[in-house]
Structure 1
């Protein structure tokens, strides 16, 4: 180069230097372009890989949900209290089971005894949890609450129930035993032929209308403990309240049965889709109206309300009513005179780690 510098004229040397510089700039520019192209290619490949992973993940989740949907293990137990409109509600489940794809099973106990023997408790728990061909399932019957976790079961069923004002429930049951109802009008009832009114029964101190007969809703919620069935037990009341709040998905009241059904339809559409409309228009929605029922006088009601059993049973009913109305307040809203189920009021945000 030194020899070239001495022999080449200055202008030629300048042109050579300029040409070399331009060539270097072009090469550097090409290198930069190649680097950018490589970076874009790597970014594209990376995005493609992430998208592929996300796609596979979505497919896996979809398959999981599909499998779960195909193998829905949900079990509902409705341990129905007598004379609380339980037949009306149960018949809705029977009408919907074929359409919505679940099974309905009646728990028929000997002499309608709500307390199961220990061996039957174990049998029942095993049946409900392992009888896969009957899942999803809706079990109903006059059975006291049974705590499945006591038997080492992890997958507990969903409990639902309905309660009624205690004296109204007893009056309805009193006349039901004598006159039957419109569900099976030809069936002879245990007290058929007894024409004594409920007022006369209370006035004469009859056994069928004694305050102790009010003691039924609390033990049904309290369960299979000896104390649950001691009329007037404060411990049983507290246990029944605890179970209602912690072990039951929803407890409605007879006087507001349609709202109970509406909320269940919103919460468990896989079981109760179409239930509200069916309750309003179906032929089986208002069955089992007791025949020849005569409302008690104020004097009769006042006499029953003096008993400690009524006070405790009524306290439980008021507790259940307050809880139900609290749930309803947060589940529906009134619009143009009709109750409308609220849609989803939560969503997810700030999800990490981020995916570019």
Structure 2
């Protein structure tokens, strides 16, 4: 009897011990499974968060407002026969020294459609993305307002010339009388086989009113655009002052311009045109009234920039 009781006790406690051990390992296994799940979920959450930060861009409402003008994107929309090639020469010489690249754009019409304006802007921005460094461009075209196309505007720069000096620099017979006639008719001015280019449309823009002779609206629009988009507009009659203003106002692109000018270009002076009859010159000035008002305004602005 005692033996039987002992055997039963051993079996009972053995079974009980087995059950306890089984339950212990079962609980331990469940705890380890939970811990492993927590680690995996945490890793996934961290990866998802990191990926979200890389892939999701801020909405327009969340972004900080960009500057309207890009200080590392220069555009010389040069006026023909006014010394724009001097500036191109400087930009080409200084690009390696100042760590930017200058791009000469294809020739084309000065007046371009809205579609063509958009294409010009898109090609410039594509080049900016591909180069990934500051760029300067030059192209003879009337002012294009990049902000109308929801793009950041380049920093514009240009140079102009005394309107009559620009005319008389071309030795074409009968040019003065041709100019007088076409300005009165308010259309494109053909001097011989060439078009006489006014200064104002290059700063006024693509609006048809910008091309009207002696237009007060065009004059005021040109002035507004200069004040907003052109840190410097030089004059060919005073290259020293022009280049000093460029280096002072736009050092990123024109640092070292004064030295290059003094060493290589100071002996190159603008050619003055043929002597003109004073009476005819006064008449031309009266016909070119807004052109001269713009020219004198640019000259005064440039002088003030140097004296500050």
What TM-score comes out, normalization by structure 2 length?
0.67
Q: Does 1:257 align with 2:254?
A: no
1:1-356 aligned at under 5 Å gives the runs 74-110=72-108, 113-131=109-127, 132-134=129-131, 135-153=133-151, 155-172=152-169, 174-175=170-171, 196=173, 200-202=174-176, 205-206=177-178, 210-211=182-183, 213=189, 216-282=198-264, 286=268, 293-307=273-287, 310-330=288-308
**Corresponding residue number in structure 2 for 1:4:** none
Q: What is the aligned-residue RMSD (CA, Å)?
A: 2.5
Judge conservation of contact 1:170–1:209 (CA < 8 Å) in 2. no
Judge conservation of contact 2:78–2:158 (CA < 8 Å) in 1. yes
Aligned pair in 2 of structure 1 residues 286, 116: CA closer, same or farther (>3 Å)? farther
Judge conservation of contact 1:144–1:223 (CA < 8 Å) in 2. yes
Aligned pair in 2 of structure 1 residues 91, 247: CA closer, same or farther (>3 Å)? same
Quote how far apart the aligned CAs of 1:129 are.
2.5
| In 2: Cα distance, 1:233 partner to 1:263 partner | 29
| In 1: Cα distance, 2:141 partner to 2:112 partner | 8
Quote how far apart the aligned CAs of 1:266 are.
2.6
| In 1: Cα distance, 2:71 partner to 2:240 partner | 27
| In 2: Cα distance, 1:284 partner to 1:105 partner | 25
Post-superposition CA distance 1:195-242 (Å, at most 9, x none): x2xxx443xx33598546466111110001111112222111110111
Structure 1 residue runs without a partner (length 5+): 1-71, 179-195, 331-356
Quote how far apart the aligned CAs of 1:314 are.
0.7
Post-superposition CA distance 1:94-150 (Å, at most 9, x none): 11112222111122233xx21122222111112222322343111112111111100
Judge conservation of contact 2:160–2:235 (CA < 8 Å) in 1. yes
| In 2: Cα distance, 1:73 partner to 1:215 partner | 29
Q: How many residues align?
A: 227
Judge conservation of contact 2:71–2:155 (CA < 8 Å) in 1. no
What TM-score comes out, normalization by structure 1 length?
0.58
| In 2: Cα distance, 1:273 partner to 1:301 partner | 39
| In 2: Cα distance, 1:122 partner to 1:130 partner | 12
| In 1: Cα distance, 2:293 partner to 2:159 partner | 15
